[in-house]
Amino acid sequence: MGALCMEQLCGMNLHYQHHSLEYFLDRQVELGLKNVELWGGSPHLYIDDASPERVHTVRNAIQSRGLNPVCYTPETVVYPINIAAEEEHIRWRSLQYLSRGIEIASELGCGRMLLTPGWGYVGREKKRSMEYSLQSIEILTRKAERENVVLALEHLSPISSNLINTSADLKMILERIPSPNLKAMLDTCQVCLAGEHVRDYFEALGENLVHIHLVDGTPGGHLAFGDGELPLQEFVETIGAWGYKGFLSMEISDRRYFEKPELADRQSVSLFRKWICLMKR
């Protein structure tokens, strides 16, 4: 059996959105983490506020603390961004927004950006929306190739999108748009909402699975480890058994953690350390 290590665990700043970026970064250092995935929301590094000077400042803030930025994750679910929209002006705006996100990932030095597929309108033919999504993903993939950035395509819950929800959906996209700059990722909440197991993603995607959001839930919710009902310890064991060498980000986002987000991180880090120690016995 393979084993995961603490160096693969990443902090993430969604539940720090009522605190400064510096507060988030300092708490990660205190926890002993080495890596961060940066959610691109306000006030930390929202795309529309991200001048080259601001990105340079953020990169220095991360690196001066000895942290490694591993992924830039623009907000694309609650903002008016939809790369699968029927309206051309919405798709164009969304593509401009995410094209800038790719540039930011390059400027940060992380070389990876998370991408979501958008969504189709309820009651409309899914095929039409999927084709718009595919067209947009291909455009962004070509941009990523030019910027030397890898796009990590995320499946979403049926609540957020009716386009890419399962391991089979992700595999289909990668087969339609083959590129070394377009890969897949999984989110453990989404895995369980789809009625799947993390092993399904390794079996379907193999080495094309390059990033993971490790998070608890009921099954949704994006909770701190131990606050939900997902079989996270089993998932960690399975991920290790597959020899996964990538990063695992704690995408904790529930508002219950907004006042003291570091407590959720501390609880999650402690459980992860316990689980990987057990794997090594």
Average pLDDT across the chain, whole number = 96
Say how far apart CA 281 and CA 274 lie, in whole Å.
Answer: 11
Q: In this predicted model, what pLDDT tens digit does every residue of 178-200 receive, in sequence order?
A: 999 999 999 999 999 999 999 99
Model pLDDT for residues 61-95, shown as the tens digit of each residue: 999 999 999 999 999 987 799 999 999 999 999 99
Phi, psi of 118 (to 5 degrees): 80, -170
For 206: left if phi > 0, alpha if psi spans -120 to 50, otherwise beta; the answer is left
Residue 260 banded pLDDT, cuts 50, 70, 90: very high
Whether 256 has a pLDDT exceeding 70, the answer reads yes
Q: Are 244 and 2 in contact (CB under 8 A)?
A: yes
Q: What is the DSSP string of 201-240?
A: HHHHHGGGEEEEE--B-SSSS-BPTTSS-S-HHHHHHHHH
H or E segment and range at residue 39: strand 35-40
pTM over 0.75: yes
Mean pLDDT on 221-225: 97
Report the percent of the chain where pLDDT is more than 90. Answer: 94
